Chain A
């Protein structure tokens, strides 16, 4: 059995909406529908999807915060919502926008309190703390009250807090949101190292696809509560990233060029963006056609990056869904 097992899980919320003074309308929001996947120990999985797709709802069911409406979930052999206290010792979680540390205490005191809360043996705690102090460079602000920390420092503190008790799996919700490039890099390195050295399993939701490219060996994409992709990045690109873009700089501004098998998606002065399907034409043919129509100064070919791929999946997925008869309500998750 895999470390995390999710089978046929659905989560429906009943919401009441005021209609006039006394009448209330009852609506069912289907945040997650028929979700199944499993994750082996030691993998780093990126869990992505547009806002309201059901990402957070899934993570909340895996951590025992929410009880699924139907379906089966086990994490490390435990059912999260019935064995919450046992599970809590074995998992770590960090929700980017929520502060888990004690706001008005020095960082180190929060760690001390967590040590007792999780009953981490003294020796183990020392060893872990020493490691994190070094890898996350905590020493400069270890004695600073949390409220005075910068976001980057706080996130490093939160990561440490989530890892002090040696969790087997770490659930991260937007771990790098709002961080600058250097801080993001530091967090990613930390996670990669914890995965490599401790065999830590990581499930992270993110909007930052660079997180995914650097860290994740596997991606789950969810949209409108349904899992729409489960696999690695290369397969994802091969399957969905069939569109390429040639950017051409002409000698003079020109009206959008007409290209067989391609189309101009953007014009900016003398620069034009020409998108084409890989299986319909080639970059060489597109370039030749451009040269036949206008004086060409320079050109670049853009490989599809994961952003584009994902944007494309979202828009296709969304289109398909909303056309369906059982299209359900959106819910921010």
Chain B
């Protein structure tokens, strides 16, 4: 385990070194990512120029949701975003190479890349989160602070798990990232808003099946001491870390099953 972490650090450091060969390009791309990410948030602000509240949430409260969700997703994207390449690896049979090495396939894919420019996105999310926490009058308690701190890694693990489980489908379909992308990117987008504004079926899907509601919605309710508009059990608001662990286990099992279906490719 420790040895794997050391190897992880080594492999990621090698990726980072390769990218830093082109410092200017790295700096510009990171800055670009930072700035472009604000367009996302601008879209939310535009909604609020037309309505004072969204499902009972103020603009600052939605900014908190946005900050939590975006920051978690930025870390996920940094750590596993290159799973998008899986479709190609499976299609052209390059995945073979991962199977002849003495390490887990997921470990090898995850360490195959590390786009540090994605930190630009994390930085933007952090700015929005800081703005939200500054603007909202949060009555801080140790537990609230803990919920906030744990929400980010839990959210990142939930996103990563959903990503892994969704992308596993390419072992069967062999083509196209569209369907898995709809789940991951779409799910992330939905988690930037309070889930009580969605229709009942979508809400259930987000809360229980693809547990995006645990990334921002439930932790935010707890931090803000806000009554749940949906009246769901309050213990859900503290469950994000557990949901994250469960999601990771499910994702691991899905991946394992999926890899067994790998048929390689000609050539």
Contact = CB atoms under 8 A, between A and B. Distances in A.
B236 to A, nearest CB: 38
Interface in B81-98: 93-94, 96-97
B234 to A, nearest CB: 44
Contact of B100 (A64, A67, A109): A64
A66 B260 CA distance: 8
Interface residues of B, number: 25
Nearest to B6: A116
B267 to A, nearest CB: 7
- Residue from B21, B96, B104 whose CB has the most chain A CB atoms within 10 Å: B96
B53 interface: no
A97 B267 contact: yes
A163 interface: no
Contact of B14 (A13, A113, A332): A113
Contact of A109 (B14, B101, B262): B14
B7 A331 contact: no
A276 to B, nearest CB: 39
Contact of A113 (B6, B10, B21, B96): B10
A56 interface: yes
Nearest to B263: A13
Interface stretch (A19-27, A82-90, A249-257): A82-90
A238 B101 CA distance: 41
From A89, A102, A331, name the one whose CB has the most chain B CB atoms within 10 angstroms.
A102
A63 interface: yes
A105 interface: yes
A67 B99 CA distance: 12
Contacts of B104: 85
B263 A63 contact: no
Contact of A105 (B14, B96, B260): B14
B102 interface: yes
B227 interface: no
Contacts of B42: none
B264 A66 contact: yes
B103 A117 contact: yes
Contacts of B17: 105
A116 B96 contact: no
Interface string A84-111: 1110110101010110101011000100
Interface string B95-120: 01101111110000000000000000
Contact of A85 (B10, B11, B103, B264): B103
A65 B11 CA distance: 23
Contact of A98 (B10, B14, B96): B96
Contact of B96 (A89, A95, A104, A332): A95
A176 B262 CA distance: 27
Given A65-B264, A67-B260, A116-B7, A88 B100 contact: yes
A229 interface: no
Interface in A70-88: 84-86, 88
A60 interface: yes
B103 to A, nearest CB: 6
B266 interface: yes
B97 A117 contact: no
B100 A118 contact: no
A11 B18 CA distance: 41
A219 to B, nearest CB: 22
Nearest to A63: B100
B96 A60 contact: yes
A333 interface: yes
Contact of B101 (A88, A102, A331): A88
Contacts of B264: 60, 65-66
Contacts of B21: 104
Contacts of B7: 116-117
B102 A117 contact: yes
Contacts of A118: 101-102
Given A331-B266, A332-B267, 19 more contacts: A60-B96, A63-B100, A65-B96, A65-B99, A66-B264, A86-B102, A88-B101, A88-B103, A89-B102, A91-B100, A98-B94, A98-B96, A104-B21, A105-B14, A105-B17, A105-B18, A117-B7, A118-B101, A119-B102
Interface of A: 13, 56, 60, 63-67, 84-86, 88-89, 91, 93, 95, 97-98, 100, 102, 104-105, 109, 113, 116-119, 331-333
